[in-house]
Every structure is written in C-alpha cells, then in structure tokens.
Structure 1
Amino acid sequence: MEKLPLAKAFLLIEPGPVLWVTTRGADGRNNLMTATWHMVMAFGEAPRFALLTGPWNYSCQALLETRECVLAIPTVDLAHTVVDVGMCSGQETDKFERFGLTPRAAEQVTAPLVAECLGNIECRVVEHIARHDLFILDGVQAWHDPGRSERRTLHAVGDGRFVVDGETLDLRARMAAKIPPGV
C-alpha cells in the first residue's frame, strides 16, 4: 500500500452512475447539468435520493425556486455529451438545443425528462441542507426505456476518468432478501 493524499480519497469511492439533473427554472427555461455526487437514501415505494450541488451551479437556483427536478440516467454512448454538458453553464447555453437532446414532458414535475436516457426519475426537493449544499429528493415517478439497446452506464472516478458497467453478476438467489423482478 502507498499513501494517497487525503484530498484524493474520494476517488476511491466515487459514486455512480453519472446522472443528468434537469430543471425548469421559475423563468420557464429548461436546464441540464451533469452530476456525480449523489446517493440512494431509501428505495421501494418511497424512493429517496441525495444530491450534492450548490450555488456554483446554475441549476441550484432552479432547485431552490421550484423544488423539483428529474434525475436522468445517460448511457455510455452519450459519454462525450455527458462531459460536454458538464463543461458549460446553462446560464449562457440552452444545453438541450446545443447537444441535440430531446426534452419530454414529465408527469409529476415541470422539469423535463431526457428522451435519450435509459431512465428518468421525477423528484421533489423535500429538504435543502445549505450548510452541506445537499438536496434531499423524493422520487415521485420513474420511467425507463426497455427497448434501448445501450444499457451500460458511466461511473465517474472523479478525475476525468470513467468506469463503464460491464458484466452483470446475478446473485439474487444467494441473497437473503427478496429482490423484485426486473431490478
């Protein structure tokens, strides 16, 4: 083992998959940001998620104003677009138009779904912990595209590198908890 600078410790446990967070601001403008710092807090019929973002992101203001968003799950075929979306600001750029992405109407929130994504989760902000730049989100509607041929997602390492999903190991029979079909 070699010592790793503590400032780089997050590289060892960086979460995934990379998400796009869509918002529609109070001004009616759609926006999209790339997010890698998030986590599942609860699952089942009342899914809950945490998302880390703050005033450095244009989307933060829309999250605070509207208290809703969509978590969209892009796949590996969108890797370059994932990075490019994250490298510009929605304050100056209509990212849907610039990157040829298709906004679709959501059912429970005004923020748009992203048609090109494997899945989308409509969410409402239930808490904002400003001290930590943390948003707690409740999922209110989920969507997936079962016909999408590319299903591999990206996982950020944190320094410009990404890991791509590979082989799936099905160990459900070995686990004590019953996992619902299709998960």
Structure 2
Amino acid sequence: MKKQQWPVEDVRHWLEPGPVVLISSRWQDQDNIMTLGWHTILEFSPSLIGCMISAGNLSFERIRNSGECVINLPDAAMADTVAKIGNCSGTNTNKFETFSLTAETSERVSAPSIAECHANFECRLYDDAMVERYNFFIFEVVAARVKPKPEWPQTLHYTGDGVFRTDGALIERRALFTKVS
C-alpha cells in the first residue's frame, strides 16, 4: 500500500513520547495538577526526565519557583479525569477537590503525590538551561513509588484532537538483546 502525505503539525499522532502523566506542584501552599504528554527519559543514572511545560500554564511558574514537582502515572481508568484536568485552569479550580483526588505527602519534595495514580515520581529541577527558550525542564527523579499490581497498567497515550489510545499487548524479545562489550 502506498503511503500518503501527513500534516507535519500532526506527527504527534505517530510519535507521541509516552504515557500521559499528571504533574502535581506546590508553590506558596498552593497545589495544582496539570496533564502532560510531552516528556522523555534523558538519562538512567541519575534518573533524568525532560518535560515541555508551556509558559502559559499555571504549573510553569509554580514549578519554576519551587524547583520541584511530582510526575504521577494515571491508568486508563482515569481517562475522563485526565482529560478534564487538562482542560481547566488551576487559577480558579482546586483540582484535587474538584476531581476527588487524594493528595499524598511526598517523601522528598513538597509537591503532593496523587494517591489514585499507579506510580509517583518525585522530581527536583536538575537543569533549567532550556526553560527560557523552549519551556523544557530537566528533572531528576529523587524518589519513586509504584503499585505492585498490575505489573503493566494500561496507560493513556494522547494522539491529539481529544483522542487517547492505550497500550497494546506486550511483545517480549529478550533473546535478541545482547550486551555489547
């Protein structure tokens, strides 16, 4: 079958970077949650994650000022909540209260974790060299907690235009991966 042209502004449909997450933050005793789909693993040790957070988002200034946040991993059962959080402003909405989410005390950062999420990754700002120009934060994960089951939760992946997809079946190919000396 011949390939057809695709709009370059919609390549995220094919190249989304990973599961949608909920970023929780705290600044001056004010909490917020935002939905985020633009993140990437940058390094394994220290564990570094890059996130593009729009400067127009309330969380941008809270995270920039506090230098920390929690990356929370929701599962597919939270799809409605994830979409609604991403489509309202924290300026006039207490998102924990409005969406009946439980703010848990984090171990190493002041930002709260979200109890209902499958995993919580507490982060501190590691490098802000690209924040001013690209709104790109580099965080170090300083604490991580993950529910033991299910081992592989069904996560959400945003394709744009209000459409999410979920993970498919696992395909194991360990025998084909060898360490290079």
Alignment coverage as a number of residue pairs: 176
Q: Name the CA distance, whole Å, in 1 between partners of 2:18 and 2:149.
A: 22
Number of the residue aligned with 2:142: 140
Unpaired runs of 5+ residues, structure 1, are 179-183
CA 1:79–1:149: 2 relative to 1, 3 Å: farther
- 1:126 corresponds to 2:123: no
What's 2:90 paired with?
Answer: 90
Q: Match of 2:158, as an amino acid? A: A
In structure 1, distance between residues paired with 2:163 and 2:103: 27
- Say which SS state the counterpart of residue 89 (structure 1) adopts: coil
Name the CA distance, whole Å, in 2 between partners of 1:149 and 1:98.
29
Sequence identity (%) = 35
Distance 1:10 1:167 in 2: 21
Q: Does 1:173 pair with 2:175?
A: yes
What is the TM-score with the length of structure 2 in the denominator?
Answer: 0.91
- Residue equivalent to 2:105: 105
Q: For structure 2, which runs of at least 5 residues remain unmatched after alignment?
A: none
Aligned with 1:65: secondary structure? helix
CA separation in 1, counterparts of 2:112 and 2:159?
27
Q: Does the 8 Å CA contact 1:15/1:156 hold for their aligned counterparts? A: no
The whole-number CA distance in structure 1 between the counterparts of 2:173 and 2:109 is 36
The alignment status of 1:68 with 2:78, answered yes or no, reads no
Deviation at 1:149, TM superposition (A): 8.7
Equivalent in 16, 21, 30 of residue 18 of structure 2: 16
TM-score, normalized by length of structure 1?
0.90
- d(CA) in 1 for partners of 2:33 and 2:151? 23
Secondary structure at 2:144's aligned position in 1? strand
Q: SS of 1:59's equivalent?
A: helix
1:135 is aligned with what amino acid? F
User: What's the offset of the Cα at 1:177?
Assistant: 4.1
Query: What residue in structure 1 maps to residue 36 of structure 2?
Result: 35
CA distance in 1, matches of 2:57, 2:115: 23
Secondary structure, counterpart of 1:82 in structure 2: helix
- Spell out, residue by residue over 1:47-99, the C-alpha distance to the aligned partner (whole angstroms, 9 max, x if none): 10000012210000111110000000000000010000000011111000000
Contact between 1:75 and 1:150, CA under 8 Å: does it hold in 2? no
RMSD of aligned residue pairs (Cα, Å): 1.7
Residues 138-175 of structure 1, C-alpha deviations (whole Å, 9 max, x = no match): 11011001145981101111221111112112222331
CA contact (8 A) 1:19 1:71 kept: yes
Which moved further from structure 2: 79-88 or 46-55?
46-55
Q: Structure 1 residues 8, 20: closer, same or farther in 2, change over 3 A?
A: same
